[in-house]
Amino acid sequence: MSELTIWTLDWVPQGPRGFVRDLRLRWACEEAGLDYTVRTIPFDGRETNHLEQQPFGQVPFLKDKDLEIFESGAGLLHLARKSDKLMPRDPEGEAETLQWTIAALNSIEMVTVPWWFLKICGDENNGLTEWMGQRLGHMERILSEQEWLAAKRFTVADLLMADVLRVSHVRSFGDRPATEAYVTRATSRAAFKKAHADQIAHFEAADRERAKEGSN
């Protein structure tokens, strides 16, 4: 039995499928060749039914033997310490990977998530648009100059940054050919395709189970 367990929801509606953040941990494990199992918590009651494991009632969280870790970024860094395929072991490569992993969360996602949330709620021209445009503009410049963000190769930093940038509303924001090529490059990797397909299959299986329960 695998020592790594990724916890996610047992079911979600169509919209979030392919973007629920257990995908990040699945993708990392696939890249690193780490065996893992997936276990679930009920979608119904998700705000309060696993607060002991995740104090904000979110997914994913990761279990490694007796160690439990919440927040996808923390889980990714934990997995990166298990494999140099995700993070180099030399000090310079490790530092570059760490800084870009944190940048994906703090400099990009902390702007893009509130922006697209306001957008899908009907506020098309919300006050975050200019700020996000500036941040994405900086990323476009950087990605026009280099294939990957750290150590001249794919790392966990690219995994996380690409996952942030591939959100459909963000991906279609402005004309950013270098960013689009980067997202395509990352999501064309076999590990991403496997993790994505597995997540979709997981929720489709849950559809069938719910349909059976509804017919009984």
User: Which residue type occupies 182?
Assistant: Y
User: What would the pLDDT profile of 121-145 be if each residue is shown by its tens digit?
Assistant: 888 778 899 999 999 999 999 999 9
Task: Judge whether 8 and 40 are in contact, CB under 8 Å.
Answer: yes
Rounded-to-integer distance, Cα 51 and Cα 59, Å:
11
- Tally Cβ neighbours within 10 Å of residue 196: 18
Model confidence pLDDT, tens digit, residues 112-124: 999 999 988 888 7
| pTM of this structure | 0.96
Q: pLDDT tens digit string along 189-211?
A: 999 999 999 999 999 999 999 99
CA distances to 13, 85, 202, 204 from 19, rounded to whole Å, are: 11, 23, 13, 14
Shortest CA distance to 28 belongs to which of 205, 194, 202? 194
Write down all domains in the chain, each with its CATH number in brackets. Answer: 4-84 (3.40.30.10), 91-190 (1.20.1050.10)
